[in-house]
Each structure stands twice: as C-alpha cells, then as structure tokens.
Structure 1
Amino acid sequence: MSLRPRDMPKLRDQTLRHLDDPTSNLRAKTGDENATGLDGLASHLRVGGLYWVAPDMAALAMSSGSQLAAARWATADRPTPCGLIMFDGGIGHFDARGVQIPIEACAWGPYEGECMLWLLMSRRRLVAEMARANLRLDEEQAPPLLPVHGFTVPVTTQPAPLADLDPSVPLPVIAALAASWLLMQQPNLIDRTRERPDKSVRRSYARAGREDPEVTVVDLRRQYVPDTADPDSGRDGRHYRHRWVVSGHWRNQPHGPGQSERRQTWIESYVKGPDGAPLLSTERVNVWRR
C-alpha cells in the first residue's frame, strides 16, 4: 500500500523517536559531524507544519522549478517557519557517489540566521529498491523517513541564485521545493484541503495532550480554467494578425502594500493575439489538462 497524506503525523512521530534516541542507528552510526544537523531536523519536525503535494502539483513544481534561476528562503517565503513536505511520486534524486537516491520529502527550519533544509526518502521506497537487488532491510532499525542530505541556504532580502548553492545540492530538487513554496501562494492555481490522520493517531495525540494533527494537501485546482486573455494586450499599441501560445513562465509580479514588493508568480500558458485571428501552428504543442 502506498503512503497517504493521513500517514504523515505517524511517519513524523516515528522518525522523531529515532532522532531522539542516541542509541538508534540513525544517531549512533552517522558520525558526530552530523549531530548538529540531525538535532536541527528533530526540532523542526517537532513543531513544523505538515504538507502533502499531489502528483500533478509535484509535476508542476518540477517543471516550473526548472525555469527558476533564484529563490528566497526567508520565513515569509515559507508556508510555515518550520515544516515537512512530502511529494507524491518524488521530486528527483540526490547523487551519492554515483548512486541515485530518490528524494520524496523535504524538511526546513531556521538555523543560525539561515534556513536549514533536509532531503529525505521513505523507508518504504528503500525497502522496495533493496528488494530489486535481493537485499533486505531491518526495518525496525530505520526510521520511516530517512535523512539523505542536509544543508543550509542563505536568508536574503533578494532572491539568491540557485547556481551559487553548494555543488553537492541537487539543483532540480531544490528548485522544485522553491517553486512549490511559490505556487502555494497562488490561490487561483491550487486547492488546499485538510486531512486528519486515523482515529488511533488522534487518540494517541489526545492522551499526550497534543493538538489533533492535520495535513495540508496541495493540488492543482480541479475547476481551474486557464486564462486565455493576453495580460500584455494594448500596452505597447501593437496590433497582431495572428494568435499564438505563450508557454507557462515565472513573472516578477508586484504585490503587498501599494504593490511595493515583488514576488515570483507562475503565469499559466495562455493564447496571445486578437480573438478570431488564425492560430499560428508550431512543430510541437504540449497541452496539460487536469
């Protein structure tokens, strides 16, 4: 059975048990140099929001992230100051000495004036990958979410170039994460729903005096209809005799008080040109419908 949004509170809490236990394999066999980073991961998981990204939304995050050259990592740019986000189907791989490790989740939170990020994969995925090689994992000794790579990114007032990050950081993954944060700020593009865990998990939280956990599920709007109007029409006085498709792209859009701030906003594909004019054909047209 595949993982579901309602599984996230349990996955988070079981992972915390391994992080909080100094005798666990995660702590005892990863070296002292990783202790501070794992401490940070534990503190962020303990208080962070939980997010589940549906497959279509994950695909858009990866596609739009490939066009994102820079990103901001400040608290105001995150869905919550600390958090854990899982991407249904994953968002790429981390190259560990030639071994491609699938990344299915990311965790974040503040750390010494910067933002700490962790890339994670599920134990379930690791078990499946090992089975293909006739290997077996002692599942009791491994947390359900396995930390793959941890690092920090600078908190800046202006977007920082992704190319300036540590070379060990997988740019497609980090760009998809940054894109997902930006897309989550566009209510015309996404649907947010809340999902509660199973009753057994809720009862466990109640006994411990903890708030009932919820997971925010993020997906493309099911009733979303792309805007076919040209956002730039009439601004330059030009008149067109044809229509053509403009691909989705990022735009540095004004927002905030008096439109004084700027934020990267994803502009969906649209048709440019006057109504009724012939549509120019191209060698290849990609249409993505929900």
Structure 2
Amino acid sequence: MTAWTRDPGPDGAANWLQFFLGPQPDHATESRVFDRADDVAATIAGTLAAQLPVAELFYVSSDMTELARHAATTLTDYRLHPEDLPAPVGMMVYAEPPVANPVDHHDGVSIVSWGPGRGGLWVHRWQRPSSDVARLGRVLAALPRDEAIRRGERAATRPEPHPDAPPTTEEGFDFLASGLLPNLRRAPAPPSFTPPHGYDWSGLTPMEYTDMEGWPGDITTGLDGDDLRMAEASLNLERTILATWLLMGQTIVRSEDLTAPRAARRRMSREAPDVDPGVRYIDLRRARTEPSDRSDTTTSTREYRHRWVVRGHWRNQWYASRNDHRPIWIEPHLAGPEDAPLLGGDRVNVLRR
C-alpha cells in the first residue's frame, strides 16, 4: 500500500483517487472537512502517502473480531479521545470482515487505517472487489482512454438491457464505461479497478475529538432501500471499529508483537525500505468465570441464594485523569455464591474462545 501511494503512474493512488473520487465529489459541500476550494482526491492521496508508511500494523483475530462485532451492538454513541486509539497512526487488518456488505460489488470492509487529518482524525476503509469487478477493471485499464470514452458514449445511447436478456460481456463492459464517463473524462488515464495491493479505498470518516455529540451518529434518517441498507452497514462498521479500539485497551485482550516472514521482509525492503515489518497480533485471553474488574474489597449487605449468568455488557467507567467516562467491556460471568444453585435448572452455559 505504501508503494501504491508513491506510484505516479496510472495505477498509483493519486490517479486512482482522481478517477474514482475526483477533485469535487458529489457530497463535498456537505462535509465539515472539505470545501469547494479543495482538490479532495489530491488531499486524500497526499494524506495516505504520509500516513501509511508510518502506520503501526495490527492484526485482529477471528475471536477478537467476533467479540467486537457482538460488543458493538450495545455500544452507545461515544466521544472519542486520542488516548482511546491503540496508536496515533495505525492500520487494523481484521481476520474476516466484521460487517457484511449488503449491496456493493465488494466484500465487507476488512482493513481500517487511521491518522491525523483536518478536523481531528481520518479513518479510512478498505475492501476487496469481486472478481467480476476486478476483471472489468483490467479490461478498462488496458484500453486507450479515447477508446474507452467512445465505447461509453455509444452505450449511453442504448436502452438498458432487459433482465430476461442479459447483455454480452462486451455490452456489459460498454454499459459500465457509460456509467464512468465523468471519471474517464477527468482522469489522465483509467486505472484498474483493483490497486496492485488488492484492496479498494472505499471511504473516509473524519472524526472529531472535541464538540462532538457522539461517533458514530444517526446517518440513516430519511433513507430507504439500498441506501438505507448501506447506511446501516456503515453505521455498524463504525461502531465495530470503535468497539475494537476500546477493547484493545482492556485486560481481556492479549497483544503479541510479531514480524513479517522472511520473504515478505525482503520484498518490503525493496519496495518500501522505510516501512516497519512488525505487526501486533490482537487476540482474546482465556475465558474467565468472574468479571475482569471484580474487587475483593467490595462488600454488600444483600444475600443471594442462587447463582446466575451475567451477559457481556458495557459499563461507563469514570476516569479522573481525563475527567470523563470511558466504556469498558464486562465479560460474561457467573454471579452469586459459589455453592448456590444456578438459576435456569440444568441449563449449561459455555463460553468458547
């Protein structure tokens, strides 16, 4: 990815973002980060070129991904603090996409990168395109720009294919080019749809640290259909990212420093010698049967005659050092006297990690 941000050619980040995003995306006027004087694509490309080489790399295991996905469902809006981040500049690679992609021709987002940006913090999302999209992109990138524009203009005058009569491969490509005519006209050369590293940049979420009612917020009002499903998926992903960061700062998480295999280190030394080959592996510790924050000094006058299962949940913990609360995750555990019967009869509760 670092080599991609430095590549001045057609498949480099600058041309890729210029083609797909352009200097003024449709929603630029609605953003608190960009205004009409900004070249949005160039700004994002430059920021990525500065962030990715110094990003600390994290790999989130399948178990940790599942916990973050589950914990995000009950996480309320939360004002992020700089100390909540596992690193000022970083990249998280999830073992699997934590949130399903409802309608787009991509897998779910499985890589998240972040770093300082205008307005506070910039969070970037990355996902793999489908094989069909990647194939059409390779065809488009191989065509001369004028030929691609001509085929797109030709297809724009045709009626859309009927669902019962799917278009041929060539017709399908022409219709794809017609939808990309504004992109083809503004970029010097069409890039392939998939950068050499295999992931598409799929979005930026600027996040503020101050004067913030909560992130993520309500972004689904007034939407329906595919727009609503995409907005809900984006909201779920943002909550999962935030839940992952919060969980990484707790004792239920195990962190192990690893390094890239020898062959990968050699390739990195050739393509981007300034990039650290280390990665921090984020996983869960072994399951507990008691809450992780239990204190032996806690006293209570209430007597219990049964044991019961306490489900995993968030609790707002006060931190005097920051004069604010921070959500902490309380693991599922058994509560009540050890020798008391378990409520629920013969049911057995098993937590597997």
- Alignment TM-score, normalising by the size of structure 2: 0.65
Aligned counterpart in structure 1 of residue 8 of structure 2, from 1, 14, 21: 21
Aligned counterpart in structure 2 of residue 193 of structure 1, from 256, 265, 273: 256
Tell me the distance in 2 between the aligned counterparts of 1:200 and 1:53: 22
SS of 1:162's partner is coil
Q: Structure 1 counterpart of 2:60, which letter?
A: V
Q: Deviations over 1:16-47 (max 9, x none)?
A: 34xx4363351341122341233323322122
1:57 maps to 64
2:288 equivalent to 1:225 = yes
2:95 equivalent to 1:88 = yes
- Rg: which structure is higher? 2
1:155 maps to 209
Q: Structure 2 counterpart of 1:26, which letter?
A: W
SS of 1:278's partner is coil
1:55–1:159: structure 2 CA closer, same or farther, 3 Å change rule? farther
Tell me the distance in 1 between the aligned counterparts of 2:50 and 2:219: 24
Tell me the distance in 2 between the aligned counterparts of 1:78 and 1:250: 18
2:187 maps to none
Shift of residue 266 of structure 1? Answer: 0.6
Aligned counterpart in structure 2 of residue 32 of structure 1, from 23, 27, 37: 23
Tell me the distance in 1 between the aligned counterparts of 2:134 and 2:218: 40
Tell me the distance in 1 between the aligned counterparts of 2:115 and 2:301: 48
2:314 equivalent to 1:247 = no
2:74 maps to 67
SS of 1:210's partner is coil
2:244 maps to 180
Tell me the distance in 2 between the aligned counterparts of 1:191 and 1:183: 10
For the 8 Å contact 2:61–2:94, the answer to whether it is kept is yes
2:55 equivalent to 1:48 = yes
2:338 maps to 275
Structure 2 residues not aligned, in runs of 5+: 25-39, 142-190, 222-230
2:27 maps to none
- Alignment TM-score, normalising by the size of structure 1: 0.77
Shift of residue 286 of structure 1? Answer: 5.8
SS of 2:240's partner is helix
Q: Deviations over 1:207-240 (max 9, x none)?
A: 665364201110112x443326994996552212
SS of 1:160's partner is coil
For the 8 Å contact 1:21–1:27, the answer to whether it is kept is no
For the 8 Å contact 2:119–2:206, the answer to whether it is kept is no
2:277 maps to 213
Shift of residue 14 of structure 1? Answer: 4.3
Structure 1 residues not aligned, in runs of 5+: 1-11
Q: Structure 2 counterpart of 1:99, which letter?
A: D
2:108 equivalent to 1:117 = no
Tell me the distance in 1 between the aligned counterparts of 2:217 and 2:18: 34
Q: Deviations over 1:221-278 (max 9, x none)?
A: 2x44332699499655221221111100111124465x96532111101112122111
1:3 maps to none
2:113 maps to 107
Greater shift after overlay, 65-74 or 238-247?
A: 65-74
For the 8 Å contact 2:256–2:281, the answer to whether it is kept is yes
1:76–1:89: structure 2 CA closer, same or farther, 3 Å change rule? same
Shift of residue 161 of structure 1? Answer: 4.9
Aligned residues: 266
2:351 maps to 288
For the 8 Å contact 1:109–1:117, the answer to whether it is kept is yes
Shift of residue 198 of structure 1? Answer: 2.7
For the 8 Å contact 1:115–1:154, the answer to whether it is kept is yes
For the 8 Å contact 1:195–1:217, the answer to whether it is kept is yes
Greater shift after overlay, 241-250 or 191-200?
A: 191-200
Q: Structure 2 counterpart of 1:178, which letter?
A: L
For the 8 Å contact 1:254–1:260, the answer to whether it is kept is yes
Q: Deviations over 1:129-184 (max 9, x none)?
A: 335x9956539932222111112122137772533458747111111110111111
Tell me the distance in 2 between the aligned counterparts of 1:209 and 1:146: 23
Superposed CA RMSD in Å reads 3.4
1:130 maps to 131
Identity rate, percent: 29
For the 8 Å contact 1:16–1:46, the answer to whether it is kept is no
Tell me the distance in 1 between the aligned counterparts of 2:293 and 2:255: 27
1:286–1:174: structure 2 CA closer, same or farther, 3 Å change rule? farther
For the 8 Å contact 1:195–1:215, the answer to whether it is kept is yes
